Chain A
Amino acid sequence: MDILEESGKKVVLLGNEAIVRGALEAGVGFVAAYPGTPSSEIPITFSRIAKKVGLYFEYSSNEKVAFEAAVGAAWSGVRALVSQKQFGLNVAADSIMPVAYAGVRAGLVIMVADDPQGWSSAQSEQDTRFYAKMFRMPMVEPSNPQECLEYTKIAFEISEKYQIPIFLRTTTKVSHSIGTVKLGELKKPNTKGKFVKDPDRFYNIQPHLQFLHDRLDKKIEEIEKEYGYKLNKIFLGEGKIGIIASGVSFEYVKEALQELGLNPPIAKIGLVHPISKEFISDFIKDKDIVLVLEELEPFIEEFVKQIAKDVNPKIIIHGKDMLPRSGEYNLEIIIPALEKIFNKKFIIDFKNHKEIVNSILKNIPPRKPVLCPGCPHRSTFYAVKKVYGKDTIYAGDIGCYVLGIYEPFNMQDYVISMGASVGIAHGINIVSDQETVAFVGDSTFFHASIPAIINCKFNNSKAPLVVILDNTVTAMTGHQPHPGSGFTGMGDKVEPIKIEEIIKAIGAEMRIANSFNQKQLIQALQELRKIDGLRVLISRGECRLLTTRKFREKGIEIPKFQIDKEKCTKCDICIRDFACPAIMKTIKNEETIYYIDLDMCTGCSVCMQICPEGAIHSIKKR
């Protein structure tokens, strides 16, 4: 594996892998995470190497407990890292601020990945930098994989030196970009510590609180002084127009300026909180114009404007007035802004090129992500729709099953956050007589749905039908284990926690059905529909990607299905209503023929069950 190569070697790493390497070079001993795109390769990589390098790694049931576990390790003197996506930080936030007050002993790095543009099917374009401001905590932001490695190491250094938890923030195009990385020395992880009682540090209650708050403010001031010039850099250039950039925007602007043949001075911000007033003042005091480049909110721009009032009130500050506040930046967004400011013309007219492209691409079919061939969720959606029809309110949640939002299912009427399907459905049930079905994934159930389901029972609403889609793993982010999977992030076997036992304890009416068995599903749904109060269907079927992978590893042949041309009446149900990507139709000699693409078929057999003509059957092995 590249990330374990020896010091001095140059390898190509994903930003997230470089963060892992940086943590290893810092001697991290404890890592906890709940997976979430675009941060998932951090836990995936740690899970792969934990035993080999001798550190502790766990997949926690949610981000809050992951953070708390990491705090326990750091308080006991073991360097700890916790990793999550932006919304994961919202879940952990409740515990983070008090820990900022209390401080840490060994270094504690909180890795958080934002996702401008929402590549990860995100429900908002959250700019997590504001947490650093609200919590009075330091935050560093790398621009490329090499910096991912270096900044992770520096983050541990700052955290330990100032006894403060620290944010390491990336965006998708840093976490999911690849780049050449020069490796440093690996450090043997320290995994054993001791918790020492210390009322001065750990008593987050009055009258001690102001003391802790003041101490935190002092730490932040000192970090600004010490690291303002170490983590931010000025690149000298020509002229009175300057560029201020952070994160991946710095990578874009460097190349954009080169393309335009420009060489203005650039200030690169690596320490996004606290922003160094001195560093910014130095840079802007002799400039006529600056352009601030950062994805999402004008976080740095607003600081610069504040500082400019005292230092250089005449300066013109551009940023979100010229560039979008939503979505990602790229070269073709940044170059036109530079053209305007520097009064220069680039060789390509992006606008014109894009117009031509759009006109040509107008009428081609979209390729949105789909539920995989053989996905157990497709089968469950199909059965639920058959029993509940299209007017029922279908509450969506976070997981692969969010893809049920698209045609032909249209069965995610809202998707808000983990656990919100049931939480919101309960409110709808209290104020309206409409039927609701709330979908919950297995990992989501353990992460955030249990309190919501308990709340339905406790407050005795007519309660939604809760459909728990149990495919045995956290599928969407790459098949990580959860408390019900039966193995840990270290790869050790454990007793799986049974979802049905928890549902029983809550006291809900429950049925369990095999996701790949339409008859069972429909019978269970019909029975549950007649009952009042809280009802739960556990639809259980392993993620098909996992099943086919196991088949391949064990050398078992994956069963395949085919359509009998004689029996097929071209009713279109298998395509129009079921929409399995492996089922195709083509026109041969002016006749439409339905067929199954054997490269794509994973042998789940559900199409055979739903075909009203019995025209689909398995291909008999010879």
Chain B
Amino acid sequence: MKYDVLLMGVGGTGVLTTQVIIARAANIEGYYVRGVQLHGLAQRGGIIPAFVRFGSENEVSSPGIMQANADLIIAFEQLEALRAIYYARKDKTIFIINNHPLIPVYSYVLNIHYPTMDEIIKRIEPFAKKIYVFNVSQLSRENFGNVVFGNVMLIGIATGLGVLKLKEESLHEAIKITSPREVENNIKAFELGLKLGKEKLHKDK
């Protein structure tokens, strides 16, 4: 078995912490884990694609995800969800998108239109089995006073929807070791996401 998760985010917004949480949870459950983290200049507001792959050791070896092969794409920013279609295909890939625009400064400087959420979804559809949209940045601000807890909320949502097949307790454990300073809020954010995911799943049935 192998499961490929792509986290698409913008440098400096906590993508790597999210990746570490998923990787550690998978490790706690005894899966073999591989992935890629880009460090350095990419972290200065550039695109950060973070890969996490887990499964059995004899099936998972490449650190990166193959083109058109992601099982799950979690996009922290809506435009980056669109850019991720390189890794997606219609019969396989689930998208979870945070519809909170971070408009790149070059959109203004080079005068290139930043697409609307509707335009983005229309273009992603041919590459997606299913698309879920949540505004976790806003939810995070409403509940915690700033946007940073949106990341963990997305992990909760993916778990609640049943598309990130990891156990709640191993994710709790991973959150505790990864962000010891903000455990309480992170667990709350995860639980909130979990609830939202489960509700959405129930509604769709």
Q: What is the minimal beta-carbon distance from B8 to any residue of chain A, in angstroms?
A: 11
B1 lies within 8 A of chain A by Cβ: no
Q: How many inter-chain contacts with C-beta < 8 Å in the A-B complex?
A: 192
Closest 6 CB pairs of A and B: A37-B40, A177-B63, A369-B46, A365-B107, A331-B66, A332-B67
Complex interface: stretch among B81-89, B153-161, B165-173, B191-199:
B81-89
Let me know if B143 is at the binding interface, CB within 8 A: no
Q: Which of A330, A357, A402 is packed against the most chain B CB atoms within 10 Å?
A: A357
Q: Which residues in A have some Cβ–Cβ distance to B below 8 Å?
A: 10-12, 14, 37-38, 40-41, 119-121, 144, 172-174, 176-180, 248, 251-252, 254-256, 258-259, 330-332, 335, 348, 350, 353-354, 356-357, 360-361, 363-372, 400, 402-403, 406-408, 476-478, 575-576, 579-581, 584-585, 599
Determine the distance from Cα of A345 to Cα of B109 in the docked complex, in whole angstroms.
45
Residue-by-residue, is B31-45 near A (CB-CB < 8 Å gives 1, otherwise 0)?
A: 111111111111111
Q: B183: CB under 8 A from chain A?
A: no
CB-CB under 8 A from A121, the residues of chain B are: 40-41
8 pairs, A vs B, C-beta closer than 8 Å: A177-B36, A178-B19, A180-B33, A330-B64, A354-B86, A363-B112, A364-B83, A369-B45
Beyond A41-B39, A178-B63, A575-B105, whether A372 also contacts B44 by CB under 8 A is yes
Contact with B61, one of A254, A366, A367 (Cβ below 8 angstroms): A254
Q: Which residues of A contact B57 (CB under 8 A)?
A: 180
Q: How far is the CA of A528 from the CA of B120 in the complex (A)?
A: 50
Complex: A581 Cα to B123 Cα, angstroms: 26
Using an 8 Å CB-CB cutoff, how does the interface string of B11-53 with A read, 1 for contact, 0 for none? 1100000011001101100011111111111111111000010
Partner of B44, one of A172, A254, A258, A403: A403
| B85-A331 in contact (CB<8A) | no
Interface contact B44-A407, CB-CB below 8 Å:
no
| Cβ contact of B63, chosen from A11, A179, A368, cutoff 8 A | A179
Which residues of the other chain, B, contact A372 by a CB distance below 8 angstroms?
12, 44-45
Q: Is B60 an interface residue (CB 8 A)?
A: yes
Give the distance to chain A from B151, nearest Cβ to Cβ, in Å: 13
Number of interface residues of B (CB under 8 A): 62
Task: Compute how far the CA of A367 lies from the CA of B75 in the bound complex, rounded to whole angstroms.
Answer: 15
CA distance A478 to B42 in the complex (A): 12
Kindly list chain A residues whose C-beta atoms are within 8 Å of the C-beta of B61.
144, 251-252, 254-255
B80 sits at the interface (CB 8 A): yes
Contact partner of B34 (CB less than 8 A), chosen from A177, A365, A369, A575, is: A177
For B10, B46, B57, B89, the residue with the greatest tally of chain A CB atoms inside 10 Å of its CB is B46
Contact B105 A581, beta carbon cutoff 8 Å? yes
Additional pairs, 10, CB under 8 Å, beyond known A12-B26, A179-B35: A37-B40, A179-B33, A360-B123, A368-B106, A369-B43, A370-B105, A372-B45, A407-B109, A478-B39, A584-B103
Q: Give the residues in chain A near B123, CB-CB below 8 Å.
A: 360
With A37-B39, A367-B104 in contact, do A400 and B44 touch (Cβ < 8 Å)? yes
Q: Is the CB of A331 within 8 A of B36?
A: no
Output the least CB separation between B104 and chain A (Å). 4
**CB-based contact B44/A12 at 8 Å:** no
Give the complex CA separation of A11 and B24 in angstroms: 8
**Residues on the B chain within 8 Å of A585, using CB:** 108
Whether the pair B146, A599 counts as a contact (CB closer than 8 A) is yes
A370-B36 in contact (CB<8A): no
A585 — nearest CB in chain B belongs to which residue? B108
Determine the distance from Cα of A41 to Cα of B38 in the docked complex, in whole angstroms: 11
Q: Which residues of A sit under 8 angstroms from B83, Cβ to Cβ?
A: 361, 364, 367
Contact A353 B24 (CB under 8 A): no
Q: Determine the chain A residues whose CB is within 8 A of the CB of B52 once the complex forms.
A: 178
A370-B108 contact given A14-B37, A176-B39, A364-B82, CB 8 Å threshold: no
Pair A119/B42 contact, Cβ less than 8 Å: yes
Are A364 and B79 in touch, CB under 8 angstroms?
Answer: yes
Q: In whole angstroms, what is the CA distance A332 to B11 when docked?
A: 25
Confirm or deny: B203 has a beta carbon within 8 angstroms of a beta carbon on chain A: no
